[in-house]
């Protein structure tokens, strides 16, 4: 599922293509559920003639503000994609909705699994949505002190806690695994059990992996594309996500392991991210050199958990 960096990438690429553009018509495919409970005729009448003002992001949701105070809320879920293409271009694969714009382009929504939605929300509904989530982790309200105080009130495992959208907005499975690895914190540890140094390290790591994910235009595991149809590049820089039981740790060389935390597949290094009290002696076996004298290369196969 797209996380903060992926949705932010879509926002940044779609906004300059639709800002100040007026919707001149709507085409809804066979799956009318893409627009939620609205009837197609009602939805079409309400958005036709409206002008896009801006594109915003809250947590994993994209908000496209219209000039009458309403917003189109886009939730990409697992396989949703937004694309801006010329109106003359034929239907895209898995296309369910097209908003025709006054410059001859369409804003189209495609979704193979049909889990995502494009919903027309009133201003009060947008405010209610925005209040559901915790602080944006790249914003000023997300501090190490906030993290420490939140951990003290939450008894769950640290990975599940940082993925709680009411606590921190926008962190999902990919960036949780990467942040915990960077901070050297085992994903199965109790959030309450982290000391001040570990909390500060995890705070820096969360911000770091998300910022880098945005800079690299998101992580494409299967289907993620930005509004121009480009894949992200962050998948080339993942250290542990999706690599449990199939690759060595990029930091110490120990085999990565895979477990399940909060129902989510989780990859980690048992040597770098030890559980408290784990006194096992983990000595790497001597690696066999290649014929050219170099160490064996590390595989980078990535799968979605």
Alpha-carbon gap, residue 85 to 260, rounded angstroms? 40
Contact 218, 2 (CB under 8 A): yes
Are 116 and 149 within one domain?
A: no
Are 160 and 202 within one domain?
A: yes
Q: Specify if 84 maps to a domain.
A: yes
Active site residue 283: no
List Cα–Cα distances, 138 to 129, 142, 178, 225, in angstroms. Answer: 19, 7, 16, 22
The model's confidence at residue 108, banded by pLDDT at 50, 70 and 90, is very high
Contact 83, 225 (CB under 8 A): yes
Are 148 and 123 within one domain?
A: no
Q: Specify if 212 maps to a domain.
A: yes
Q: Specify if 279 maps to a domain.
A: no
Element (H, E) at 66: strand 61-66
Q: Specify if 273 maps to a domain.
A: no
Q: Specify if 230 maps to a domain.
A: yes
Q: Specify if 297 maps to a domain.
A: no
Are 27 and 93 within one domain?
A: yes
Active site residue: 11, 60, 159, 189, which one?
A: 60
Active site residue 257: no
Q: Specify if 296 maps to a domain.
A: no
Are 15 and 118 within one domain?
A: yes
pLDDT digits (tens, 9 = 90+) for 29-88: 999 999 999 999 999 999 999 999 999 999 999 999 999 999 999 999 999 999 999 999
- Give the number of domains in the chain: 2
Residue 41, domain extent: 4-131
- What pLDDT, on the 0 to 100 scale, is given for residue 25? 98
The model's confidence at residue 304, banded by pLDDT at 50, 70 and 90, is very low
Strand arrangement, sheet containing 23-28: 23-28, 95-101, 105-111, 80-86
Q: Specify if 113 maps to a domain.
A: yes
Task: Tell me which of 131, 159, 185 is where a domain ends.
Answer: 131
- What pLDDT, on the 0 to 100 scale, is given for residue 235? 97
pLDDT digits (tens, 9 = 90+) for 128-144: 999 999 999 999 999 99
Active site residue 60: yes
Contact 107, 33 (CB under 8 A): no
Alpha-carbon gap, residue 75 to 85, rounded angstroms? 20
Are 81 and 182 within one domain?
A: no
The model's confidence at residue 297, banded by pLDDT at 50, 70 and 90, is very low
Are 117 and 156 within one domain?
A: no
Active site residue 264: yes
Which two three-digit tokens encode residue 105?
A: 């382009």
Are 104 and 8 within one domain?
A: yes
The model's confidence at residue 223, banded by pLDDT at 50, 70 and 90, is confident
Q: Of 73, 69, 74, 36, which Cα lies nearest the Cα of 50?
A: 69
Are 195 and 78 within one domain?
A: no
pLDDT digits (tens, 9 = 90+) for 271-292: 999 998 877 777 776 655 443 4
Task: Tell me which of 67, 102, 131 is where a domain ends.
Answer: 131
- What pLDDT, on the 0 to 100 scale, is given for residue 293? 39
Active site residue: 184, 200, 211, 264, which one?
A: 264
Are 37 and 105 within one domain?
A: yes
Task: Tell me which of 86, 101, 131 is where a domain ends.
Answer: 131
pTM above 0.85, yes or no: yes
> Mean pLDDT across the stretch 94-106?
98
Q: What share of the chain is helix, strand, coil (3-state, %, to 5)?
A: 30, 20, 50
Active site residue: 2, 5, 137, 187, which one?
A: 2
> Mean pLDDT across the stretch 246-267?
96
List Cα–Cα distances, 155 to 137, 152, 175, 193, in angstroms. Answer: 21, 8, 21, 9
Q: How many helices (H) and strands (E) does the chain have?
A: 7, 10
């Amino acid at each position: 599922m797209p996380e903060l960096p992926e949705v932010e990438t879509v926002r940044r690429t779609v906004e300059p293509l639709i800002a100040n553009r007026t919707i001149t018509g709507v085409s809804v495919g066979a799956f009318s559920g893409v627009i939620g409970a609205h009837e197609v005729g009602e939805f079409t009448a309400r958005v036709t003639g409206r002008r896009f003002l801006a594109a915003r992001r809250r947590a994993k949701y994209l908000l496209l503000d219209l000039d009458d105070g309403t917003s189109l809320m886009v939730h990409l879920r697992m396989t949703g994609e937004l694309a801006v293409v010329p109106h003359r271009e034929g239907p895209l694969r898995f296309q369910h909705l097209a908003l025709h714009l006054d410059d001859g382009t369409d804003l189209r929504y495609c979704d193979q699994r049909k889990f995502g939605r494009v919903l027309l929300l009133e201003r009060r509904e947008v405010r209610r949505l925005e209040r559901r989530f915790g602080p944006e982790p790249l914003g000023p309200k997300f501090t190490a002190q906030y993290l420490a105080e939140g951990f003290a009130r939450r008894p769950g495992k640290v990975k599940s806690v940082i993925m709680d959208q009411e606590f921190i907005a926008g962190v999902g499975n990919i960036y949780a695994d990467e942040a915990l690895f960077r901070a050297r914190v085992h994903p199965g540890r109790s959030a309450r059990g982290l000391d001040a140094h570990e909390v500060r390290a995890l705070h820096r790591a969360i911000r770091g992996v998300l910022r880098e994910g945005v800079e690299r235009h998101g992580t494409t595991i299967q289907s993620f594309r930005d509004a121009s149809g480009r894949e992200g590049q962050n998948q080339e820089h993942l250290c542990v996500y999706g690599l449990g039981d199939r690759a060595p740790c990029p930091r110490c060389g120990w085999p990565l392991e895979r477990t399940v935390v909060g129902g989510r597949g989780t990859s980690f290094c048992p040597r770098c991210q030890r559980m408290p009290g784990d006194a096992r002696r983990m000595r790497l076996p001597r690696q066999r050199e290649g014929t050219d004298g170099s160490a064996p290369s590390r595989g980078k196969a990535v799968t979605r958990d």
